[in-house]
Structure 1
């Protein structure tokens, strides 16, 4: 008991005129600030009946304004005694019969807060003095991650282990403020003037989260690329900030219980860079070649390859191209067939035909050239000489899959 809801809505208008003294969030907060003490506002701060206003202690009659995107947490001797997630104005009175301890609202946070409240609620009767804190309920941006060396995971599509160095950012949300405060926030931050900031390099708790995210990147990549229902590939990750965030959130939940143990959740990600190792880059090239030879695009590429091969054969045949091959001296021949020469009788002894010069053989494709092997296999498949299974096996062997 203790909180009385005076008005619902944003700060301003009549409420600001009526309440010359009240508590709310401090000015100049960084967007990455997660938890901080309430501060007094108004002309009489520190000179009225609430003499403890300057150190975040409220007393009976204190007014508190909760802006949109924040939750109010009241504490006594380290125990949570009240909570309000509905934006609006409240008055603290531990003696009032119509006061309540919790205003969870109707948002997503409501069922979580109500369940947690039953676990952590204050067992005794709240005193007339309480400490007031605000916790951020909005997405908290600019949480960074990065790896100094390659991370590796098994990729189902490429049927191999792949590796990369990556860096980026993610947004974080406190989905259960009570659990977050009780289970994760160090006691040093539950003091006036202290701000729990996830990007503070001196915040050991925030540094721990960074390390846990980095430790979860490999399973998150594996989870994202190996989900058969999505058909995802590693080249799609940078374009799918929400999809990869779900995989990363699931990975940190599996490994470190962020949601169920700390009240935290990753909402979205922005991967700034992925640098694949040498073996992975080669695998990606082979996969791109295989994709180029599949479906309608593969038929177009095959036709282009055949046309290019015929052109090369013609160029290698010497003057006259392919038609000139097999020409004999004293006559015009195709394929080595001797034609009669005008003016020479049928009984005349035919001039001895010069032996046709053998056509230079086209350069044989390199035995280990995947494109040549796959082109030949596709021709055999289209001619009905091999089955689709034979072609798939040849493709896998040629690409090393």
Structure 2
């Protein structure tokens, strides 16, 4: 154990944020306190947990003087927990870790090595991703690949543009917990952030601010610093309840507004451009979650909530891509023209499009053309069905006519026209009809 002596400045301040993670928090803290090779401190922010998280933290803190506990009396979310934790740090560098994750055994040694050999405000390190809960192994592979993709160093505005401007073919990660930050830089950046509660994807806002202020970022994905447990918190790819999705999309909308406000206050054109790109990326993310994480009935029920939060044009932007994909699939086989999911989505699209004029965007024009093709194909199918039905009816009528003629020949043979038997039969028939 590397103890701090007197006024010695720790190399790294590990900021652990915790909310209702009693099952994981001591595992997390053990992984931090097991680090060796340089002096460090641990600032644990308990975000007013309602389970036994705070008790588990205090048990560890009582045994190790490197642990300082900041106990919040009101739950305010991960952003304000990190902001509070950053303000309480003293280290030359700051590293954030969530209470349900853990550091790798040699994380501190890797950090010491990279800050000795390179100079930057932000160092993005590698991570290992482990699926838990309902998450599949395939999900963890995809997330790990995305978080460990970047290589080399990035400078100045390119840092922001690669993460928020579509500068490269694949955007850089905006995860805050994969990075080591120069201490003074980190404390100043978090102090400049909005002092408001944020929800889903709040680290995107935090990294937007950090990236906008940095002059150099070093990528070192080969240095695996921590283990991320996918599915332990709010992350994941499984099915989502309708109320959870509705709440999440409102949180994302508030996040977009905060990013836009920060960019506007800064005044640089690059930040405004990146804020607009970020809004489009959030719409794409919500579109994906609406498509794959909601049950079909919930998809339809969620559309009014989306329209109320984002407006009709933005909601149509979210629906356009999945509806276009479904329309293309339907057009590949006439047997799919009655696909219930396509028609449920189409009904929501038509309802929104009837309420307001959509902007002249190519995506909307392409979708309108595809829907017109579907309508034409359905009209052709219905016309062919009517022709078939009429042909079948004609065949039935012809058969009935032939049958009637056969019976009439027999009737005429036994009951000739004008005969008494014919008149008696006719009278009996009229009596039965009454």
Tell me the TM-score normalized by structure 2: 0.29
More strand by share: 1
Which structure has the larger Rg over C-alpha atoms?
A: 1
Alignment TM-score, normalising by the size of structure 1: 0.31
